[in-house]
Structure formats: C-alpha cells, structure tokens
Structure 1
Amino acid sequence: MALFDEILSAVANPEMQANPDQLSGILSTVQQLSNNYGTDPGTTQTLVSVVGNYLRSSLQAAGPNQAQSLVNQFGGTTPNQQAVEALLGAGMQQQLVQDLIQKTGLDPQTIQSMLPMLIPLALNLLQSGNNTQNPQAGNPILNSFLDGDNDGDVDLGDVMNVAGRFLGGR
C-alpha cells in the first residue's frame, strides 16, 4: 500500500508535517463522526473510500499546484461546507451522495451532513505530506494519492484502517 508507506515515511521524517498525534486526531475524529451518526466502522470506511475517490478525481482535474493549494486551504478536523463546494461542485456532490446511498444504505440527509466533515479530514491526511522546512519541496503523500500511474490502488478508507491498527499497536 504505497500511500500508507508514504504516510509512515512522513511520520518518520521530522521535516514533514505528519506525526502520530495528527494521525490519531484524524482517526479519533472519524471515530467520533461514526459514533455521532450511529454508523459502524465498515460503513464509515466505505464513506471515506468513496469520498476519497471523488476527491482524487477533483484534485487530479485541478492539477498539482492547485491540488496542493486546495489541500492546504481546506484540510482540517472541523466541518467545512466550503470545502465540499470547492472540491465537488453541485453536480459531483449529487453524484457522490447517490453513490454513497447505494453503497452504504444511509439516507441522503445523513450523508449530506457528514460530507463537510469527511472532506476536510481526508484533505488533512493528505496535508501530512507537507514539508515544514521547505514548502516548495512537494508533497509525496498527495502525489501518491493522485496516483500518477492511474493503477487505482489508492483507497483512503483502507489507509485509515491500517493507520488505526498501526497506532493501536504503539
């Protein structure tokens, strides 16, 4: 899992933004979101995975520099409706909601209310690859997520699941 390897590498690199506390905060917020909406961990993982796929498409279309700018602007652990609008637009957002209804069985209102939290969390994970010493150095986590070779092996839900197991073993 190349993306998770990039995250582990960033955690081990003091020049990168990533650290165990940031990952724990992201995972804790995902767990809290799951608890608040009464979804099981598998459903939440599906939500994160599908949202991640849509984010990848949106960020790829934006191009590398704009993608990094969007990640920096909207990555966080608090709800942000502007992030949803900036990254998905109305058409893609509607398509995402329909896809999530089909894959999770959740109602549209629940999904709509979860998106302003899920998107900043996913972007926060991608932000962990920022170089704190040299911001122009590039972001290997974002680059891996954008999956330049289009082999499709990137799944944020799986990455968060593995990160949870990794942090649980510490």
Structure 2
Amino acid sequence: MGLFDQILSAVGNPDQQANNDGLANIINTVGQLSGNNGVDPSVVNSALSIVGNHVRSSLQQQRSESGDRQVEGLVNQFAGTGYNPDAVSSIFSGGQLDSLIQSVAGRTGLDPNTVQSLLPTLVPIVLNFIQSGSNSGGGNPVLNTFLDSDQDGDVDIADALGMAGRYLGR
C-alpha cells in the first residue's frame, strides 16, 4: 500500500490522527510558505520532496540505531505546521543538514540561505504528514510506509501531498 493510500486509510480510521482538516492545514501551510517567501509553489514542492527523502533517510538511520519507539517519539514531538528549528536539529546532524541544504539548493536553484530559512517549517510539515497515521493504541502505519520497509523507493511526500490536495478538492 502506498503512502497516500495509508493516509486515506488513516483518515477513515477513528483510532488514527489523520483527518481532512489536518490535511488541509498542511496543504495551506505549504501554500503560505511559498507566498510568504516569494518562492514559486512548484519549487517549494520540489524542496518538500527532497526534504522528505532526507527525513526518511535520517529516520531510517535512527530507527536502526534506536528502534521504532524512538523514531515515533521524534515524529510525535516535532510534527507541526509552524516554524520549529528544534525539529531540524533533532532530525539531522550537522553533516546531514549541510548535505540537505546543498541538495535542495542544487536541485531547486534556491539560495542556500533561503533553503535554511525554509527548513524549520518544511521538516515539521513532513513529520506532521507522517504523524497522521499515529494510532491511539500505538504504532504508525503511515510512518512505516514512509520509511518504506520493503525498500522499493516508492515514497514521495510531495506527490502524496499533491494527491491529498486533489482528494480535498484543492
């Protein structure tokens, strides 16, 4: 089951955190981030996709070192739609952060300083999106899909967010 399918399943499951209002809030925040920073929405979506891939790699590494509960705790603690530099520093080491900034800047054409200013909002958005699968009984199938247990590489946060926007009629 793909990431967006997991999100839809979570929306329909009262034991999970996902709901239409939460998805709409994430989509609106991405749009506002674009407008507030004078960055084309497609560039923000590209940056979001790259950030999502780096978040996934970092969380996979943390999961292999510290286990699922540690990763779920990070996701639950730092998920949001607001500016949160602690989310960035908790997910990425200094070297990982430098690599992320260079990757986003190189692939989107954004200035590295602009990328750095966007990250404290983009990282919590990614975490918020995957937190939507948190289950009141424990576990998070959206997070598991995001971390792509079968390693087929079939996960893209920006694509899933775009599908969510179409699902909500935005």
TM bin (shorter chain): over 0.9
Deviation at 1:152, TM superposition (A): 0.5
Identity of aligned residues (%): 52
Q: In structure 1, what is the equivalent of residue 112 of structure 2?
A: 108
Deviation at 1:41, TM superposition (A): 2.0
Q: In structure 2, what is the equivalent of residue 125 of structure 1?
A: 129
CA distance in 2, matches of 1:83, 1:121: 10
| TM-score normalised by the chain length of structure 2 | 0.95
Deviation at 1:168, TM superposition (A): 1.2
CA distance in 2, matches of 1:86, 1:159: 24
| TM-score normalised by the chain length of structure 1 | 0.95
Structure 1 segments of 4+ aligned residues over 4 angstroms from their partners = none
Q: In structure 1, what is the equivalent of residue 53 of structure 2?
A: 53
Q: In structure 1, what is the equivalent of residue 88 of structure 2?
A: 84
CA distance in 2, matches of 1:60, 1:77: 22
CA distance in 2, matches of 1:100, 1:31: 18
Give the secondary structure class of the aligned counterpart of 1:110.
helix
Q: Tell me how many residue pairs correspond in the alignment.
A: 166
Q: In structure 1, what is the equivalent of residue 143 of structure 2?
A: 142
Give unmatched runs, 5+ long, in structure 1. Answer: none
CA RMSD of aligned residues (A): 1.1
CA distance in 2, matches of 1:158, 1:45: 9
CA distance in 1, matches of 2:32, 2:100: 22
CA distance in 1, matches of 2:87, 2:134: 19
Give unmatched runs, 5+ long, in structure 2. Answer: none
